[in-house]
A and B are shown apart, each in its own frame.
Chain A
Amino acid sequence: DTGVSQDPRHKITKRGQNVTFRCDPISEHNRLYWYRQTLGQGPEFLTYFQNEAQLEKSRLLSDRFSAERPKGSFSTLEIQRTEQGDSAMYLCASSLGGVGTYPYGYTFGSGTRLTVV
């Protein structure tokens, strides 16, 4: 297993366009997370899946953001009608996890850097 893969590594888009990012987690991990990071700040939680079920979505996330994890494998994060404030590093991570367990350490991908011009 080569770890968590994210594609693309960089994306430049014009304001108002839609973008989609892909994440391939570690195959044995049942949980998948999306975080966003801007310069000088820590990763900010967006959403997470356990298998194919989306269990939590940040209240800070607007309706322009949507994520899927069909069949509990890879995941996609789509941003519709991008705005300049969406420019950030989008990080995907995976881990084991379940009811009654402590949070496991995440394995992060290298991220997708989005620039909205």
Chain B
Amino acid sequence: DQQVKQNSPSLSVQEGRISILNCDYTNSMFDYFLWYKKYPAEGPTFLISISSIKDKNEDGRFTVFLNKSAKHLSLHIVPSQPGDSAVYFCAAGYTNAGKSTFGDGTTLTVKP
């Protein structure tokens, strides 16, 4: 049973436009959510996180939105840049637990 799902394997957007990456989870015990970016031949890099007591967290061009009732979160990138082209992983965890559970990723391509 996959507890964190990223249903879109790929997304293509034009440079300067908004990229929206989606993630759904099934385990209502999760209270912390994270996004990572991964370039080829590198390990994932932590981007941004949000706790369940918030519904939005912003860091520069990156904003994560959390809808607890729908068990859904999304990552918005505005404006998108070609350097944002990478695989994006959604992950979830909970307080006092060390591990995070990852989705299978969405490959974002930003076209110049």
User: How far is it, in angstroms, between the C-alpha of A42 and the C-alpha of B99 when the chains are bound?
Assistant: 14
**Which stretch, B13-21, B44-52, B67-75, B78-86, touches the partner chain A?**
B44-52
Given contacts A50-B98, A106-B46, contact A43 B93 (CB under 8 A): no
Q: How many residues of A contact B (CB 8 A)?
A: 29
Residue in chain B with minimal CB distance to A48: B98
A65 interfacial contact with B, CB 8 Å: no
Interface residues of B in 42-67 (CB under 8 A from A): 42-47, 49, 51
Of all chain B residues, which has the CB nearest A113? B41
Chain B residue contacts of A110, Cβ below 8 A: 41-43
B45: nearest chain-A partner, CB-CB: A108
Query: Do B46 and A107 touch across chains, with their CB atoms under 8 A apart?
Result: yes
Q: Does the CB pair B101–A45 fall under 8 Å?
A: yes
Interface residues of A in 30-74 (CB under 8 A from B): 31, 33, 35, 40-45, 48, 50, 55-56
Residues of A contacting B104 in the complex (Cβ-Cβ under 8 angstroms): 40-42
Cross-chain contact B51 with A102 (CB below 8 angstroms): yes
Which B-chain residue is minimally distant from A47 (CB atoms)? B99
| Contact between B100 and A45, CB atoms less than 8 A apart | yes
Contact B89 A42 (CB under 8 A): yes
Cβ-based interface call for A105 (8 A): yes
Which residues on B are within 8 Å of A, measured CB to CB?
Answer: 4, 6, 31-32, 34, 36, 41-47, 49, 51, 89, 91, 93-105
